[in-house]
Chains A and B, each alone.
Chain A
Amino acid sequence: MSIRTFSVWRGDKNGGRFVEYQVEVEEGMVVLDAIHQIQRTQAHDLACRWNCKAAKCGSCSAEVNGRPRLMCKTRLDALPVGEMVRIQPLQTFPIIRDLVTDVSWNYQVNKKIPPFAPRPDASWVMLQQDVNRAQEFRKCIECFLCQNVCHVLREHERKSEFFGPRFFVRIASLQMHPMDSLDRLPLLKNEAGLGLCNITKCCTEVCPEDIHITDNAIIPLKERVVDRYYDPIQILLRKIKGEKASHAGGK
């Protein structure tokens, strides 16, 4: 057992500062354990979110030593020994208190995405290989770490024009669902602002669920948008065959 120092951001929307705490560290401890210990013994009112303690619910997102992470999945022995552990809330969202931020914007965005709508003729026979991709996207635990790092949201604050990687993943999961019938490409091109993403892949790097956000969701969606709106042959085909047929072929 050893003692480590944690520097935790304390404050609210009016401002705050880093406060240092000494914590007795046991083998195998994660950052969330340390936060809980501080809460139990030194700062009863230290605010943080958590639920599962097993990287399944996406509640405990924070920035640990400057890197967005799930606190319940970040082992202390994986952080540089002898150095202070610095913990602060996600920077892209408005602060509520201490490590808790206001992520309600994400819930509003989700509401704008037309939900799953099965084809009238859906047979519900789906092979595993046909659903693998949708399943990859459905692994998302809504930790919003990807939203937190994406520069379009973080540095440029374009929340009103850009849904962010989490919701491209969500749209991809619907578009690539074998039984879905809706066309969300106009939404992607316009309101969702897919074009603002310049494929930096920062989102993919932080995803705790190892979803290949850029390669498997964003890039294929971008390709579909390009095919639809900018490819002259596709446009012509669509004119001849009618909108629906060409769309179904693209599924």
Chain B
Amino acid sequence: MNEKYETHEHDVIVIGAGGAGLRAAIECSALGAKTALICKSLLGKAHTVMAEGGVAAALAHVDAQDSWRTHFQDTLFGGKYLNNWRMAELHAREAPERVRELERWGAVFDRTPDGKILQRAFGGHTYRRLAHVGDRTGLELIRTLQDKGVHQGIDVFMECTITKLLKDGERVCGAFGYWRETGRFVVYKAKAVVLATGGIGKCYKITSNSWESTGDGHALGYEAGAELVDMEFVQFHPTGMVWPPGVMGLLVTEAVRGEGGILRNNQGERFMEKYDPKRMDLSTRDVVARAIYTEVKEGRGSPHGGCFLDISHRKAPYIRQKLPSMYHQFKELADVDITKEPMEVGPTSHYTMGGIKVDADTGASTVPGLYAAGECTGGVNGANRLGGNSLSDLLVFGRRAGAGAAEYANRAAPPRIDQTQVENAAGEMIGFFDRPGAADPYKLHVDLQNTMQNLAGIFREEKDLTMAVARLEDLQRRAAHVGVVEGQRMYNPGWHLCRDLHNMLICSQAIVRAALLRKESRGAHSRLDFPKYDEYWGEHNIVIKKEPDGMKVQARPVVKVAELIPLVDEKKAKETK
């Protein structure tokens, strides 16, 4: 083969170096596969580093009654029973071992008085379940995995963006990308590929997510023929910062409420009494986000359009020890001393439950050789994710996808790269430079974000969603004209954004089309025109696939596990009481 571009050959390439990608790569390489780890940012800066509150695992260190069964039940109740049951089961069963393993690899969690890993309360979890390190759990997780990984001989490719998966017939055989630093192209040849690219937050205007969350893995998988599931479910975290404008959307960890923080409206009322008297401030995120939205809409909001979150009844040194980064974040960015005064918070787009549909045990997508793990997959969380269930998801399914991919690579034939696909991918990227009078990608991005924020946000209805479909089609047309206005190929964010838009548009379309089809309200998906649960939709997920004539959206029965029915029925009975 003529190798016009820099080419690397591995058994497995892992795209994404957050918790999921790192854990997958560690597993792959431990199983003897030659493994590459590719990421858009520097190693250790992936979104996972921002996770604050903790990792959910039924270790039962603080509440001895806890068990995987209760964790499983809580996860299904949070997900409104749309979860892939097998995934939820594996997740709940294996999370404790994954957390202990992290400790054996050097992570230092906060301790109980008798020297074990401490656990804190979080919304929707029956027991105190989140292992944590103050409010910087993600940093601990990513640093531990990073150090484990680099010393295990994984080849790391930092600041490299993948724009295309390459295929050899039905199977995936590698990927094409560019170095951010030089703008040069690079081809990765591999027997198996693991996607671990994180979320889609950048489709929305107000988000807690970083620039990386442009749904690349969702789009790469979709374009390679993989199915997406549950795309209508976008989690709005109830507590993002609302002021000052520059930090709007920045996360205020749920740990604030886990440590006793109280939500109030401008009348001083604990409004959660109206919305969920049983769980109050620690109700599930969908419920709290809608409650805050409603309070603001009805005129009981805080000065900057949120509500108040108050932890100042706790002792100042305790707050500073348990929530140090929140303390600094408010002190430095908003001039608010949270040990003395309440914070102002409001909903922010935070997490996507939807993603690549995978086999629970191996992380295999519907495309041979393509695996996925972490936030870019769908299934474990159903209609709504509980706090802390993502970090555990990354560890449990990162490991499983890594093993799945390594095993596939073991028996797969050597990959063959189709040069035409490579040239097409290169042509697409170069094309952004040959557009005289190119449209401004930044403007298009703002328009996309406004469309999604206003028409496919916390509350949805038919007419908004229909309008969103039309706007997205229009944006899609405009996207064909965006191009590089300034600069060359070296580290040019304007150029990069041109390509990212493509992915965000695919994800946005998937979200809107699925939201239109689901004519009911469930979990994170609230339809003003269909405010109730619907029996049919309670038994069905929405699956999306690329067909020759465009995006196909279809309902499919929930994946259940016969042996778990008693557990689920028990939870349903308890919750309807």
Taking beta carbons and an 8 Å cutoff, which residues of A are in contact with B? 12, 26-30, 32-33, 39-41, 43-59, 73, 75, 96-98, 100, 102-104, 107, 110-111, 115-116, 118, 122, 124-128, 131, 134-135, 138-139, 141-142, 174, 177, 180
Residues of A within 8 A of B49 (CB): 51-52, 56-57, 141
Q: Which of A55, A56, A107, A110 has the most CB of B within 10 A?
A: A56
Residues of A within 8 A of B42 (CB): 49, 59, 103
- Interface contact B136-A56, CB-CB below 8 Å: yes
Bound-state CA distance A203–B490 (Å) is: 31
With A57-B50, A59-B41, A59-B45 as contacts: A126 and B111 at CB distance below 8 Å? yes
- Interface contact B246-A44, CB-CB below 8 Å: no
Residues of A within 8 A of B150 (CB): 107, 110-111
Q: A51-B212, A58-B45 are in contact. List 13 more A-B contacts (CB 8 A).
A: A29-B245, A44-B440, A49-B45, A51-B211, A54-B50, A55-B328, A57-B49, A97-B181, A107-B150, A110-B150, A135-B110, A138-B139, A174-B106
Residues of A within 8 A of B105 (CB): 116
Q: Which of B43, B134, B139, B487 contacts A107 (CB 8 A)?
A: B43
Q: Which of A30, A100, A115, A180 contacts B491 (CB 8 A)?
A: A100
Residues of A within 8 A of B134 (CB): 135
Chain B residue nearest in CB terms to A99: B491
Bound-state CA distance A126–B110 (Å) is: 9
Asked if B381 lies at the interface with its beta carbon under 8 angstroms from chain A, I say: no
Asked if B495 lies at the interface with its beta carbon under 8 angstroms from chain A, I say: yes
**Nearest CB of chain A from residue B322's CB, rounded to whole Å:** 12
Chain A residue nearest in CB terms to B142: A57
- Interface contact A44-B487, CB-CB below 8 Å: yes
Q: Which of A28, A33, A96, A135 contacts B181 (CB 8 A)?
A: A96
**Nearest CB of chain A from residue B344's CB, rounded to whole Å:** 12
- Interface contact B329-A54, CB-CB below 8 Å: yes
Asked if B334 lies at the interface with its beta carbon under 8 angstroms from chain A, I say: yes
Chain A residue nearest in CB terms to B105: A116
- Interface contact B151-A115, CB-CB below 8 Å: yes
Chain A residue nearest in CB terms to B246: A33
Chain B residue nearest in CB terms to A180: B106
- Interface contact B151-A131, CB-CB below 8 Å: no
Bound-state CA distance A32–B210 (Å) is: 13
Q: Which of B212, B332, B485 contacts A73 (CB 8 A)?
A: B332
Bound-state CA distance A39–B496 (Å) is: 13
Chain B residue nearest in CB terms to A107: B43
Residues of B within 8 A of A75 (CB): 332-333
Chain B residue nearest in CB terms to A110: B150
Residues of A within 8 A of B108 (CB): 126, 131, 134-135, 138, 177
- Interface contact A51-B47, CB-CB below 8 Å: yes
| A-B CB contact pairs (8 Å), 21 listed | A26-B246, A28-B246, A29-B245, A44-B485, A45-B492, A45-B495, A46-B493, A50-B210, A51-B41, A51-B45, A51-B211, A54-B247, A54-B251, A115-B106, A125-B114, A125-B115, A135-B108, A135-B110, A135-B133, A138-B133, A139-B139
Bound-state CA distance A248–B440 (Å) is: 62
With A51-B211, A55-B328, A126-B115 as contacts: A97 and B491 at CB distance below 8 Å? yes
Chain B residue nearest in CB terms to A126: B115
Bound-state CA distance A128–B321 (Å) is: 12
Asked if B243 lies at the interface with its beta carbon under 8 angstroms from chain A, I say: yes
Residues of B within 8 A of A26 (CB): 244-246
Chain A residue nearest in CB terms to B117: A124
Residues of B within 8 A of A104 (CB): 158
Q: What is the interface size of chain B, counting residues whose CB is below 8 A from a CB of the partner? A: 64
Bound-state CA distance A116–B113 (Å) is: 24
Q: Which of A44, A52, A115, A128 contacts B148 (CB 8 A)?
A: A115
Task: Report whether over half of chain A's contact residues are helix, strand or loop; otherwise say mixed.
Answer: loop
- Interface contact B244-A29, CB-CB below 8 Å: yes
Bound-state CA distance A161–B244 (Å) is: 45
Bound-state CA distance A98–B333 (Å) is: 25
Q: Which of B103, B332, B490 contacts A124 (CB 8 A)?
A: B103
Asked if B325 lies at the interface with its beta carbon under 8 angstroms from chain A, I say: yes
**Nearest CB of chain A from residue B19's CB, rounded to whole Å:** 14
- Interface contact A128-B106, CB-CB below 8 Å: no
For window 82-136 of B, CB contacts with A under 8 Å fall at 100, 103-106, 108, 110-111, 113-116, 133-134, 136
- Interface contact B104-A30, CB-CB below 8 Å: no
Asked if B140 lies at the interface with its beta carbon under 8 angstroms from chain A, I say: yes
**Nearest CB of chain B from residue A131's CB, rounded to whole Å:** 5
Asked if B250 lies at the interface with its beta carbon under 8 angstroms from chain A, I say: yes
Chain A residue nearest in CB terms to B140: A138
Residues of A within 8 A of B332 (CB): 55, 73, 75
Bound-state CA distance A29–B147 (Å) is: 35
Residues of A within 8 A of B165 (CB): none
Residues of B within 8 A of A45 (CB): 484, 486-488, 492-495
Residues of B within 8 A of A97 (CB): 181, 490-491
Residues of B within 8 A of A138 (CB): 108, 133, 139-140, 143
Asked if B53 lies at the interface with its beta carbon under 8 angstroms from chain A, I say: no
- Interface contact B151-A111, CB-CB below 8 Å: yes
Q: Which of A53, A56, A125 contacts B116 (CB 8 A)?
A: A125
Bound-state CA distance A39–B445 (Å) is: 13
**Nearest CB of chain B from residue A99's CB, rounded to whole Å:** 10
Residues of B within 8 A of A50 (CB): 210-211
Bound-state CA distance A54–B440 (Å) is: 27
Residues of A within 8 A of B138 (CB): 56
Residues of B within 8 A of A29 (CB): 244-246
Bound-state CA distance A213–B552 (Å) is: 56
Residues of B within 8 A of A58 (CB): 45
Bound-state CA distance A56–B324 (Å) is: 12
Residues of B within 8 A of A126 (CB): 108, 111, 115
Q: Which of A28, A44, A53 contacts B210 (CB 8 A)?
A: A53
Bound-state CA distance A127–B109 (Å) is: 10
Bound-state CA distance A75–B46 (Å) is: 24
- Interface contact A12-B490, CB-CB below 8 Å: yes
Chain B residue nearest in CB terms to A56: B50
Residues of A within 8 A of B106 (CB): 115-116, 118, 174, 177, 180
- Interface contact A40-B45, CB-CB below 8 Å: no
Counting from the closest, the 8 A-B pairs by CB-CB distance are: A28-B244, A45-B487, A44-B494, A116-B106, A125-B115, A33-B246, A47-B491, A97-B491
Bound-state CA distance A135–B144 (Å) is: 12
Complex interface bits, B29-49 against A, C-beta within 8 A gives 1, otherwise 0:
000000000000111111101
Residues of A within 8 A of B244 (CB): 26-29
Bound-state CA distance A100–B493 (Å) is: 12
Q: Which of A115, A124, A125 has the most CB of B within 10 A?
A: A115
Residues of A within 8 A of B533 (CB): none
Asked if B536 lies at the interface with its beta carbon under 8 angstroms from chain A, I say: no
Asked if B5 lies at the interface with its beta carbon under 8 angstroms from chain A, I say: no
Residues of A within 8 A of B140 (CB): 138
Chain B residue nearest in CB terms to A125: B115
**Nearest CB of chain A from residue B332's CB, rounded to whole Å:** 6
Asked if B318 lies at the interface with its beta carbon under 8 angstroms from chain A, I say: no
Chain A residue nearest in CB terms to B143: A138
- Interface contact B151-A52, CB-CB below 8 Å: no
Bound-state CA distance A55–B151 (Å) is: 27
**Nearest CB of chain A from residue B247's CB, rounded to whole Å:** 7
- Interface contact B246-A30, CB-CB below 8 Å: yes
Residues of B within 8 A of A59 (CB): 41-42, 45
Residues of B within 8 A of A27 (CB): 244-245
Q: Which of B47, B111, B139, B246 contacts A131 (CB 8 A)?
A: B111
